[in-house]
Amino acid sequence: MIDIDALTVTFGGVTPIDRLSLTLDGQIVGLIGPNGAGKTTLLNVLSGLVRPSAGTVRLFGKDIGALAAGQRLGWGVTRAFQTPQVADDLTASENIQVALDSLQVPRAEAATRLAETLERVGLAGHARRLGAHLDGFDLRMTEIGRCLVTGPKLIMLDEPAAGLAAAERTRLIDLLRGLSRAGTRILIIDHDIDLIAGLCDQVAVLDFGHLVASGDTDTVLADPKVRAAYLGEFEDDDAEARAA
Amino acid sequence: MAMSETSRTPLPHAAPRGFLAAAASQHGGLITAFFLMALIVPFLGSYWIKNFTSMIAVAIAAQGVALLHARLGFVSLAGIAMMGVGGWFGLRLAHATGLPFEIVLVLAALCTGAAGVLLGLPALKHRGLIYALITLMFAAGFHVVVSSIGFPDGGSGFWGRIDGSAERQLMARPAIAASDLAYFLYALAIAAAAFTATHIVTKSAVGRAWAMIRAGDAVAHAAGVRIGIARAKAFGLAGALAGVGGCLLAGSIGQLDGRSFDPVQSLLLYGLVIIAGPWSLAAALIAGFLYRMFPAILDSWGVDGDIAITIFGLALIHAIVSAPRGIAGQLHDLTSAIQNRLSGVDR
Ligand SMILES: Nc1ncnc2c1ncn2[C@@H]1O[C@H](COP(=O)(O)OP(=O)(O)OP(=O)(O)O)[C@@H](O)[C@H]1O
Ligand SMILES: [Mg+2]
């Protein structure tokens, strides 16, 4: 579903993505790599926030290079941010509703979808709470709700499990599994290898804007080059974790 | 071209937390103020009634200044100048067409709204101090033009000026509000409608788009907000509000004097909006009061009304240093403290 060919992104003198070619397909796919590897930058390209200097990006077979971010939303591709981006002075519900505003959804249907989404992300009880007063997990869920409410084909999440408590992490995993079962494709960036190993069909590993490895999750995570890139980060404990 | 997710729109005056929740329940005080004015002003003399009418007109324009500041993070130093633009359109249309006041008011609002969008165009490229200076230069330019040519007074030609010895004409007031008192109540009703409309817009999809832009350009794009269009709507609404205010002012006096639209007045109005606390809908009314009534009160006490500017300067420093939510925020704290006291809540 994601086909990237010779993609290059440069910011002034920095080249966070350098002639990257990559194909990923699966219900849930993962993107991992050390800090500064270019993961968020790639997600910014996929969501239309950063224009690549060269290369092409296809989603579901379509070259989306010409689509602006808002058009990608309408076309079924949405994203959340590494630091949740929630308007302080809108309620949780309004923060989600905003994504529907641009899509010309009839009023009644919009209300139904909004209510369903709030229920689904567990915010029904906090729907009228202002963004400024939401805790970390609810901020994440508000962002995911903003993605879901548009009924997307693909949602892209940037480190959604960062900073979550164990119980919250479990709720996140349940939510993502449920979405995936219902047919939504998910791209997830995370440093939590157990999470990636447990959820993803396919994984790509980036380092310094280059592809280290990609393919089926088990194969990729067993690759010595990948383990080297992650230097000890999950060397000892991943086997037990996945066995458990 | 790059827009990283961390590039939040710089907004030095982001809404303080806590106050946001309060803002929703805050309109009670504003509604009370409107009712009190409707009840009390009729018993004041003609001098005060006229001053209150001007204050209401200024308050409507101030609502636009507050909107641009609080919702968009743009500093408009042309608030009074835009009122002048509204007054110009009102006078020109009224003299040229003889249409009923209400229709002139709507047309003036539309024309000034369009002017507001034009004045918002530089905001596509510039923000912060540069944009503020652009608006101030517009205010200065408007003052130069309008004080040399003068506001329309019933003459012909594009500028609508009477030449030679012919008598200047006054703009007709609405048929139902010919007296000073009736016109004050009329202006008050228009202000209530304008404030309500502003509130409704900020609660609508447009207001949600503004809030997303404040949260950050990247997330606004990702949420499908068309940033340029959303901003243009704010500039248009602010212009329309100034147009309504300017047209009401023209109707109150019957004519306008270019000399009273100097750029310092626009600068002053912006300062007062900041002192009043632009996050609240009530700020515009407080700013209008300070702008128009405070000097009038000093005058009536025999104190030079220009002293007010000095006092405002000190108040601005106070607002920036210790009352970032402005007078509206402090009043809100006060009323909620009293409410809590009355309902026995101990905090
Ligand atoms: N807007 C930008 N301007 C300049 N450099 C940028 C910009 N955005 C990202 N970079 C640089 O690109 C590189 C990749 O950054 P990116 O945020 O994509 O990494 P990441 O893989 O998401 O890292 P992390 O795991 O820390 O989130 C970094 O060196 C970063 O400093
Ligand atoms: Mg990142």
Contact A146 B3 (CB under 8 A): no
Nearest CA among B319, B236, B223 for reference residue B279: B319
Taking the whole predicted model, whether its pTM rises above 0.95 is answered as no
Choice among A66-70, A72-76, B319-323 with the minimum mean pLDDT: B319-323
Kindly report the nearest CA distance between residue A129 and chain B, in angstroms.
Answer: 8
Cβ contact B62:B79 at 8 Å:
yes
A41 Cβ contact list (under 8 Å, min separation 6): A9, A16, A17, A50, A209
- Contact between A39 and A32 (Cβ < 8 Å): yes
Which residue's CA is the closest to the ligand 1 atom numbered 1? B4
Write down the mean pLDDT value for chain A. 90
**What is the reported pLDDT for A232?**
52
* Beta pairing, strands A54-59 & A62-63: antiparallel
Confidence tier at A97 by pLDDT (50, 70, 90): very high
* Ligand 2 mean position, distance from CA A151 (Å): 25
Closest-CA residue of chain A to B206: A101
How far is Cα A16 from Cα B345, in angstroms, rounded to an integer?
56
Chain A residues whose beta carbon lies within 8 Å of the beta carbon of residue B73: none
Closest CB from A70, A78, A94 relative to B208: A94
Nearest to B3 among A49, A82, A133 (CB): A49
3-state SS, one letter per residue, for B186-230: HHHHHHHHHHHHHHHHHCCHHHHHHHHHHHCHHHHHHCCCCHHHH
Q: How remote is the CA of residue B73 from the centroid of ligand 2, in Å? A: 28
> What letter would DSSP give residue A62?
E
Question: Which of A40, A83, A208, A230 to probe ligand 1 with, by most ligand atoms within 8 A of CB?
Answer: A40
Alpha carbon of A94: minimum distance to chain B alpha carbons (Å): 7
Look at residue B304 and give its three-state secondary structure: coil
**Residues of chain B below pLDDT 70:** 1-26, 165, 323-324, 339, 342-347
Q: How far apart are CA A142 and CA A120, in angstroms?
A: 11
For chain A, residues classed under CATH 3.40.50.300 are 1-52+157-228
**Residues near ligand 1 with C-beta < 6 Å?**
A 11, 14, 16, 33, 35-41, 82; B 2, 4
Q: Do residues B55 and B288 lie in contact, with contact meaning Cβ atoms separated by under 8 Å? A: yes
pLDDT tens-place string over residues B73-101: 899 999 999 999 999 999 999 999 989 99
Structure tokens at B65: 């200044």
Q: Quick one: pLDDT at residue A238?
A: 52
According to DSSP, the residues that pair with A203 across neighbouring strands are: A30, A215
The predicted model gives A218-240 an average pLDDT of: 69
pLDDT category of residue A241 using cuts at 50, 70 and 90: low
Say how far apart CA B147 and CA B142 lie, in whole Å.
8
In this predicted structure, what is the pLDDT of residue B25?
Answer: 55
Of A51, A73, A132, the CB nearest to B224: A73
List of chain B residues whose C-beta atoms are within 8 Å of the C-beta of residue A133: 17, 21
Q: What is the CATH number of domain A1-52+157-228?
A: 3.40.50.300
Helix residue spans in chain A (DSSP H): 39-46, 69-75, 92-101, 107-120, 136-148, 166-181, 193-199, 217-222, 224-229, 238-243
Is the ipTM beyond the 0.85 threshold? yes
